[in-house]
Amino acid sequence: MSAAPPATVAAGRSRRNAELALLILAIVIAVGAYALVGLGSDGEVPAGVFGYGLLLVGGYIVAHLVVRWFAPQADPVFLPTAVLLAGLGFAVIYRIQPDLAAAQTLWLLFGLGLFCLTLIVVRDYRQLDAFTYTIGLLGVLLLLLPMVPGIGQEVRGARLWVDIGPLQFQPAEIGKVLIVIFLASYLNTRKELLAVATRRLGPIALPEPRLLGPLLVAWGVSLLILFVEKDLGSSLLFFGIFVAMLWLATARIAYLILGGLMFAVGAFMGYVAFSHVQARVAVWLHALDPRFIQDEGYQLAQSVFAMATGGIAGTGLGQGRPFDIPDAHTDFVFAAIGEELGLLGTMATLLLFVLLIFRGFRAAVRAPDGFGQLLAAGLSTILALQSFVIIGGVTRLIPLTGITLPFVSYGGSSLIANFVLLALLIRVSSGSPERPSEDADATQFVRAARKRVG
């Protein structure tokens, strides 16, 4: 492999230096938030703040060095943004249940380890394109694994968890990443056929019926997840990712319309079939009704009260009562942020997600090949849909579903999967070894043009 041009090396060094500066700022804010929680709740800095700070500095600096060495042209914003979200989440988790802080730290370090391993092993994201059906089959198996008798566990009406010996995890978290890799590869090779409309369904123009098979399979799998695992959130996320990627690959609005109709039919069937889905819709509509507020609607009502208490600037870290919200460290962590950091804190959190998602789609636009474009767009869609679904549920915009807030909520499965997802986004944004980045190509083109003019 030929050495990188000086312009490319200089651009990579500049990006990595910018990443390091942003990373230091994110670590300072994360450790500061942890210290403020202790000062606000106990009147003193937590005893573990020094050790936590050292672990953060060590883990994140190692992650930065891996990016510097193995993805030098990568976007400098991805890692610091995720670090800041994870640091904020840790501070809130410590505030709600201090006994979970140590476990979250271990999961964070494990996630960083897999983040580094992904970047080291996947030197070129196009390697993944050669394992289309293997990755797709593994992704579907992980999505359906909780259905297996003996290892699948039902918690609060939804069958999401798998117990294998001492290990307990949600396989759908990593399954969704594998499904996106499969879809990116599959759709990239068939996007031209899927974009050609030869049949009509009323006003909707569609391709050959045989080409709609993947859409029907995705719909069937999402219904299976909904009816067997009783998980509306994962069903919505999986099918939404597929329809969004199908639309991105073909640019045909018909797929969005047809996908929306199919999801509406599936959601209605789920509502009719399951009492817990009916209960969630009823709570969504009447959370503050006296009939619900002390029973099914207690959790959502406490969430609304907490965010109302926070007001514009919040009560201050360590000054609110987020522990009054059931499961505030998982599903309702956004409400806890709203109480102690107020509207300003929730807006800042939303902007961090917007920044992460925007840079992901930016990497997709700049990718030099169709597979890289669809891969980065699909991974960004995961972050966008998952954030929307959980934040929309907590704020009563949509019915609540049991999905975690990426990088912020407590949970090992989610944290690990999201750091692997982040590593893949960084890999795409860094470009392939033969073509480091669009920016470097543009710089070389301009310099060559100047020489010719001169």
- Give which of 113, 119, 114, 94 is closest to 104, Cα–Cα: 94
Q: Residue 407: its pLDDT value, please?
A: 94
262's CB contacts (< 8 A; 6+ apart) are 215, 219, 239
Q: Residue 59: its pLDDT value, please?
A: 92
Q: Residue 452: its pLDDT value, please?
A: 40
| CA–CA dist 22, 75 (Å, integer) | 12
| CA–CA dist 445, 430 (Å, integer) | 19
Contact call for residues 189 and 198 (beta carbons, < 8 A): no
Provide the residue type at 335 as one letter.
A
| CA–CA dist 256, 315 (Å, integer) | 42
Exposed, middle or buried, 98 (CB in 10 Å: 0-12/13-18/19+)?
Answer: middle
pTM of the full predicted structure?
0.89
Q: Looking at 169-289, list the stretches that DSSP marks H as alpha helix, in order from N- to C-terminal side.
A: 172-195, 213-228, 232-250, 253-273, 275-286
DSSP code per residue over 263-313: HHHHHHHHHHH-HHHHHHHHHHHHTTSHHHHTTTTHHHHHHHHHHHHHTTT
Q: Residue 428: its pLDDT value, please?
A: 95
CA contacts within 13 A on the Cβ side of 97? 16
Contact call for residues 50 and 103 (beta carbons, < 8 A): no
Residue 328: strand pairing partners: none
pLDDT, tens digit only, all 454 positions of the chain: 445 567 677 777 889 999 999 999 999 999 999 999 999 888 888 888 888 888 888 999 999 999 999 999 999 999 999 999 999 999 999 999 988 988 999 999 999 999 999 999 999 999 999 888 898 888 888 887 877 777 777 666 566 777 776 677 788 888 889 989 988 998 888 887 777 766 666 666 666 666 666 666 776 776 676 666 666 777 778 888 888 888 888 888 877 888 888 778 877 877 887 777 788 888 888 888 887 787 778 888 899 999 999 999 999 999 988 888 888 888 899 999 999 999 999 999 999 999 999 999 999 999 989 999 999 999 999 999 999 999 998 998 888 877 789 999 998 889 999 999 999 999 999 976 554 444 444 444 334 434 444 4
Beta strands 158-164 and 152-155: pairing type?
antiparallel
340's CB contacts (< 8 A; 6+ apart) are 40, 92, 95, 310, 314, 315, 316, 317, 318, 319, 320, 322
165's CB contacts (< 8 A; 6+ apart) are none
Contact call for residues 414 and 402 (beta carbons, < 8 A): no
- Give which of 155, 154, 216, 146 is closest to 175, Cα–Cα: 146
DSSP code per residue over 301-354: HHHHHHHHHHTTT-S-TTTS-GGGSTTTTTTTHHHHHHHHHHHHHHHHHHHHHH
With residues binned 3-state (H G I as helix, E B as strand, rest as coil), the percentages for the chain, rounded to 5, are: 75, 5, 20
| CA–CA dist 23, 46 (Å, integer) | 23
